[in-house]
Amino acid sequence: MKQFLLVIGIVICLVLVPMVITKAYILNLIILICLYTILSQSWNVLGGLTGQISLGHSTFFGIGALVFRYLWILGIPPYLALCGASISSLLLASIIGFPAFKLRGHYFAIGTLALSMIASITVQNIFPGVSFSPPEFLSKYSLVPIYYMALTAAVITLALVSALTRSKLGLALVSIREEEDAAEAIGINTFEYKVIAMTLSTLIAGLGGGLFSFYVASYYYYVPFELGWSFDPVLISFIGGAGTVAGPVLGSIVFVILKELFAISLGQMNVLIFGIVFIFTVLFLPKGLIGIMGMVRGVKKSQALLPKER
Amino acid sequence: MLRFIQILSYGLLNGALYGLVALGLSLVFGVMNYLMVAHGGLIMLAAYTTFWAFFYTHIDPFLFILVVTPLFFIIGWILFKILFQSLMRFPEGEKIKNSLLISFGLLLIFSNLAILFWTADERAVTTVYSGKVLDVFGVRLPYIGLGGVAIAMIVIIALHFFLTRTYFGKAIRAVSLDHEAATLMGINVNKVCLVAFSIGFALAGIPGVITSLQAFNPAISFDLTNKALIVLILAGVGSIKGVLIGGFFLGAIEAAGVYLVGTPYREVFGLILFVLILMFRPQGLAGKRA
Amino acid sequence: MLEVRQVDVHYGDIQALWNVSFRVEDGEIVSLIGSNGAGKTTVLKTISGILSLTKGSVTIGGIRSDTIKAYQIVEHGVSLVPEGRRLFRDMTVLENLELGGYIARSRLNKDENLRWIFQMFPVLQQRIHQLAGTLSGGEQQMLAIARGLMSEPKLLLVDELSLGLAPLIVKHIYMTLKEINRSKKMTILIVEQNVRLALEISDRGYIIENGRITGEGKGSELLKSDKVKTAYLAMG
């Protein structure tokens, strides 16, 4: 109960922020954190919770961005376009993603990596130009509507993931992550559940892509398909705490802050640092930052969903 | 017709290099089930090493292979002890997953370090023979490509000799087949893995040197890792000859792609084939399941 | 030669062996018999160092072996022919044998050892360059034993050699083992479900049930004992 009230409190504060703070810098920061949270959670559902490590989520993120831009330019209102983006991601997943579940473990990882490269190269060649937001929006460009969309999308995402982790479905997914063969043996149709996880995962990824497109006024079409969008959520989720709700959020906050710190001086330094911390996490801290906090504060409910201690 | 042969020739020359690129990855995966996706990053680092060595000393890259090979062997030795040795005790599934993750982290670290130190600009080592080609009945074969094939052949023959004619080489093969049985023979499996891992690194150094002779930048880390993975799946595990054949096959497929659709889509053909094989025949065309 | 004293072994939290004690004297053939899951393979794996014991000791030729690393035990003269043979299937007969003689001192005597092996198992010489995985069941078992012999062991451990083999072939292999014991004075510890054939060539035997030693005696005696007859020979 206390946790719930705390969350409500934070959301209310965040909603009030644009009315009090006008500095674009702060708004940008929060938007970015929301964006990465959404992207990471999308990966988290499939990779952290269900144990299917995908190295190709940029594909679904990219499609979301592509479709959103397209619908938006056609005149469809942003929030509707966002839904469209989300669904299109899901459609793409159903064509290529679900058959991909014939692949187990590391095959899935390298298969999705190949997928994202196919998508990236194809888009680069079919849409070589720059994508622009609708001119009417550009003329009165303001961060505020973007901010609220980011917040809405993030809250929806977190609510979904939170509900998932507390449900029987979530438990089934975790059992697949821990011991897939055993799960099959006790009657869980792993394929079906993996499909469900994938569905949610790509829906959220498409959401993230749509948000990206709403946020960034102009970019080369291939940018949302870049491999970085595949890799960042993996780093963030692991370091924050794969399989938890709060982990990717925490990870995103740290990631974005580091990104801002190094933006002026050393560009991709945040990825470098995260790479090092990532290895450290895999070797010594399988529960991520959330795990550390858990150790300090005693066992939290979310810990039940963390990967087995190795 | 000539154009077809020309494209195919380029494809096959590339193919030899792809085989060489995949060799280290295949060996390490076969022996100890570590999926070293950082392999492409290693090759990239070797390319930069060669580039700067050439920049300061003008040493010929092909000669520099003699320096890079032991250097990377040692680097592999150290990294194994620090990062990867502790993974040995995990069961197979966990081993593959954790090695994949750690290696993934390394890949990102390597490519970003490279960008940090040397920027994302393209580099290439230009030697006297850089642009020169051998003209065979109208088909142009670049000397560098031929050199690459020659090196690939030498390495593969040497490796084959090592693995089939020496006791330690046979021990490596035994370990890749059955860790427990190898232990019963008195083989120190840990030590064998350490050496095999280091050889894997050395086998990244060699194609790295050759890569330096063509345009490269930090991003090739991902491309090369991808190529290596594709060849690994194509070839299956356990066969060196399979890796070379797989490399040629990939080169040929890419050539087909270039011929039919055009250069920008060269990679896509190979990638699509890759995904299809993953789904329908993961044991590869030649060997056993990877 | 071999002394196992009050050994407990655990697989994680699950105990597999309770207070197991037995000995094998120089030059003897001893059988450890018991049904499926009784713990026989666990005993051999512990002796050869693959499993660690949680209590007790194993002494081979006077030296404590439970404290040294698994791959070093071969140098102390112990060779295990594992359950299921565990041959290197993608390697040739010759390569398997060479790996059997991997340790330094055996490499020196390779040719001599091969000659002797081929005398014992002529069929292996005929198939010398064939891949181990292509041999028949009986040939594979012979290769597995031959491979174990290449390290010139003082103590040979054989785990369930009869599994999946026709009785005539099993008999032939046991006869060969008897001959090896006689001519080389090699100490052999056999683990078997197929009780009759094992006991027929054994000097002594132990019965193991549910991880505990429940009986011992001379080979011939055990063959005649009621307990063994009802429990095992009905199956053997």
Read off the pLDDT of residues C74-111 as tens digits, 9 standing for 90 and up. 998 999 999 999 999 999 999 999 999 999 889 999 99
Within-domain flag for A43: yes
Least confident segment among A11-25, B164-178, B275-289: B275-289
| Chain A residues bordering chain B (beta-carbon distance below 8 Å) | 53, 55, 99-100, 102-103, 105-107, 109-111, 113-115, 117-118, 121-122, 124-125, 227, 231, 234-235, 238, 266-269, 271-272, 274-276, 278-279, 282-283, 310
Strand ranges inside chain B, DSSP E: 133-136, 139-142
ipTM of this complex: 0.89
**Best of B108, B111, B227 to disrupt the A interface by mutation (most A CBs within 10 Å)?**
B108
pLDDT in tens, B211-269: 999 889 999 999 999 999 999 988 877 778 889 999 999 999 999 888 888 888 888 88
Q: How many domains does chain A have?
A: 1
- Residue B23 pLDDT > 60, yes or no? yes
The rounded percent of chain B whose pLDDT value lies above 70 is 97
* Fold held by B2-280: ABC transporter involved in vitamin B12 uptake, BtuC (1.10.3470)
Tell me the C-alpha distance between B185 and A152, whole Å. Answer: 63
| Pairwise CB contact (< 8 Å): C75 & B186 | yes
Q: Which of B170, B177, B184 sits opposite C89 (nearest CB)?
A: B177
What pLDDT score does A264 carry?
A: 65
Mean pLDDT estimate for chain C: 89
Average pLDDT over every residue of B31-46: 94
Q: Identify the band that residue B285 occupies on the pLDDT scale cut at 50, 70 and 90.
A: low
Q: In which order are the strands placed within the sheet that holds C187-192? A: C78-81, C155-159, C187-192, C29-33, C204-209, C212-218
What pLDDT score does A310 carry?
A: 38
Within-domain flag for A182: yes
Query: Taking CB atoms and an 8 Å cutoff, what residues of chain B touch C69?
Result: 188
| Alpha-carbon distances, residue A236 vs A43, A52, A273, B89, C155 (angstroms) | 10, 16, 11, 27, 55
- Residue B124 pLDDT > 80, yes or no? yes
Domain boundaries of chain B, sorted by first residue = 2-280
A17 with A25: CB under 8 angstroms?
Answer: no
Mean pLDDT by 10 residues, chain A (310 residues): 81 82 84 95 91 90 92 86 89 78 80 90 88 81 86 92 89 84 77 87 93 90 91 92 89 90 71 88 82 63 49
Tell me the C-alpha distance between C136 and A79, whole Å. Answer: 69
Tell me the C-alpha distance between A1 and B136, whole Å. Answer: 79
Range of the domain at A150: 24-238
A62 with A118: CB under 8 angstroms?
Answer: no
Identify the CATH class of C1-76+153-160+187-236.
Answer: alpha beta
What pLDDT score does C151 carry?
A: 93
Within-domain flag for A249: no
Within-domain flag for A298: no
Tell me the C-alpha distance between A177 and A183, whole Å. Answer: 9
Domain boundaries of chain C, sorted by first residue = 1-76+153-160+187-236, 78-151
Of the candidates C133, C143, C142, C32, which has an alpha carbon nearest to the alpha carbon of residue C91? Answer: C133
- Map residue C213 onto helix, strand or coil: strand
Size of interface A-B (CB pairs under 8 A): 104
What pLDDT score does B70 carry?
A: 96
Within-domain flag for A140: yes
